Structure 1
């Protein structure tokens, strides 16, 4: 019973994701597929356009057998911790044989040896990162430069640096680093990303567009405009969610909640929250006085500097919105790894996987969150409630769905 793991956000699931899924099954020969899915808030600090339950349903409709939730503690994090959390979950199932992810090149020739070097987190690497941060680089740029310098691999250092400046390569590298640190037997494979780059805002292909472009079409035009780029099952789910007042959700859906926190929270309280660093609590308050219309988008634009990327600032605002403290998100806390395997949905084949995981899983398998306690799960439930409260038509059922409904049971 072989199983391939995939790490996804599906915001929303589109034809490029279908291609990745089918190729993952093909090149691994796996009988089953397990998806680790980000919850309400995503790696780059954005909210999902629809709920985690709707996106899990998209995965099951495509053919995934089991969908597990990546805890919020890891979902809204830089690549290192996002990858560590997701890979830890796949490793903890005890049933995943391979991990397949997309990269710009479709090869691991450079990433595999680089991951073995970087997995050690040498003092030299940390010193180089700190040096480049002091020189004014943002963290992703500083890490890429330090990794290229510390690698000491045959060939031109610029090859390493160029590779790490591509987002899928960077994330893939951290998947490989996590596998090394965990001593995991899971076999990594990659396929090339096709027809659309990660950040492309406009489609250049008749059937495949980036998730960024798909969301832009949905929000700025309508669902019909995005329909050539998403499978029919995704289209049906999105249409249902929108009609029933559960989307589309964007950052500005949280404008009122976020502004309330920023306007009423003392700077010293904000300073205790994750990713609020180097006096950003004071910069936030000052900038609020300068904005004509304090939308989240305008606030992000005003905050952005060479040192602080748009993504870092989005994640910071998400942690402020959800009240994530520095203690809860400290490296020491995150290094402990996820504390459970939370099931969002499964089909008949997934049910067989769950039976097998009763014997193989190294973490508790959670079907009913109300029957389990863990600090990370508390963060997940708070995030889901806060997310549902921002729906166009919020309901108690939506805000407390984690407690009120069982995982999705999808037919074969």
Structure 2
């Protein structure tokens, strides 16, 4: 069986994602698609708009055959670690032949040239990146400037890094190199909408950002941009009081976290550095409006970017201390393959994985005692705490739910 892998968030799944799935099958002629998907929180540090179970359903109805969860330890991370965790899981299945990702460039060769160059990141490059980040520019821009300073490569190659999907695709390819993986990368050009588009620019395809904005303002306005199966799941979840979820709904939890912790205690959280713990304590009493959005606006400086602050807030909310989450642990890769859902074809993949997987394949939390599982359970519970209707079955869904079968 020929198997393609994809890395997704489906927050929520829209027509652009459906097109990606169709192009994946056309490009690879695969028999099955394995999706690695974020759980309760997303890469940018926000709680997912709907639960991982609802989003798994969306994925299976759209054409994925097997959905596995990317541990939150790797989800709420910059592109390098997000990519490393997700690619490691695809590699660990022992089944995936190709990794298909979207990119603005639509061309594999310039990304591959950069990936081959950057696979073994030199101390000089790492230092240059960190220095540029301190100037307040984004990671893609910092990487591009550092690469241009150290290596003689065409300007068009470094300019690729100004675009988020290209940057993430580059990190996927670097991860494949570092894992010495036989999985072949493939890319599909992003069509009709761009990653950061706030408003739809096409009659059917819109960015996930634009779709979320529509869902928060008027659910029915999002209908043209969502497959019927996705819309049906969203309407069911909203009717049951299970979303949509916004980061600001976690304000009270964050407020309690900051006010009940000393600066020294805050400094123990992952990615809390450079005196940010004191800045949190100093800024909080000065706010006129109490919300996470207002707090981040007040905290943001040239040095502390919005994205970094949002991820840091997620680490605070999720209890990601430096003792349970650190670079040494991340370098070891995920410790398990958590199955969220599958189709009939996916069930056959699971049978094969029992023979080929290099990690334990689990369907419930009690199947492993890995430290990252506790973080995953916590992420799902905290995201579910934002639901309008509070039930133990949703707050502790990791213990109550079996993988979804379609």
Fold similarity call, TM over 0.5:
yes
d(CA) in 2 for partners of 1:62, 1:137: 37
* Other-structure match for 2:179: 182
Mark the runs of 5 or more structure 1 residues left unpaired by the alignment: none
Q: Is the contact made by 2:41 and 2:47 (CA closer than 8 Å) also made in structure 1?
A: yes
**Matched residue SS, 1:22:** helix
Mark the runs of 5 or more structure 2 residues left unpaired by the alignment: none
Is 1:405 aligned with 2:397?
Answer: no
**Matched residue SS, 2:286:** coil
- Residue 392 of structure 1 and its aligned partner are, at CA, apart by 1.2
Is 1:341 aligned with 2:337?
Answer: yes
- Residue 121 of structure 1 and its aligned partner are, at CA, apart by 1.2
- Residue 355 of structure 1 and its aligned partner are, at CA, apart by 0.3
d(CA) in 1 for partners of 2:34, 2:55: 14
d(CA) in 1 for partners of 2:331, 2:363: 24
**Matched residue SS, 1:171:** helix
Q: Is the contact made by 1:114 and 1:151 (CA closer than 8 Å) also made in structure 2?
A: no
- Residue 371 of structure 1 and its aligned partner are, at CA, apart by 2.8
**Matched residue SS, 1:311:** helix
d(CA) in 1 for partners of 2:99, 2:57: 21
* Other-structure match for 1:317: 313
d(CA) in 1 for partners of 2:223, 2:384: 25
Equivalences for residues 354-369 of structure 1 within 5 A: 354-369=350-365
**Matched residue SS, 2:10:** coil
d(CA) in 1 for partners of 2:33, 2:206: 23
* Other-structure match for 1:292: 288
Say if 1:23 and 1:136 are closer, same or farther in 2 by CA, change over 3 A. closer
TM-score normalized with structure 2 length: 0.97
- Residue 105 of structure 1 and its aligned partner are, at CA, apart by 1.2
**Matched residue SS, 2:200:** coil
- Residue 266 of structure 1 and its aligned partner are, at CA, apart by 1.2
Query: Which of the residues 207, 211, 219 maps onto 1:210?
Result: 207
**Matched residue SS, 1:326:** coil
Is 1:385 aligned with 2:367?
Answer: no
* Other-structure match for 2:11: 11
Q: Deviations over 1:124-170 (max 9, x none)?
A: 312322443455545443222112333423x3xx3233211100010
Q: Cα RMSD over matched residues?
A: 1.2
* Other-structure match for 1:124: 124
* Other-structure match for 2:74: 74
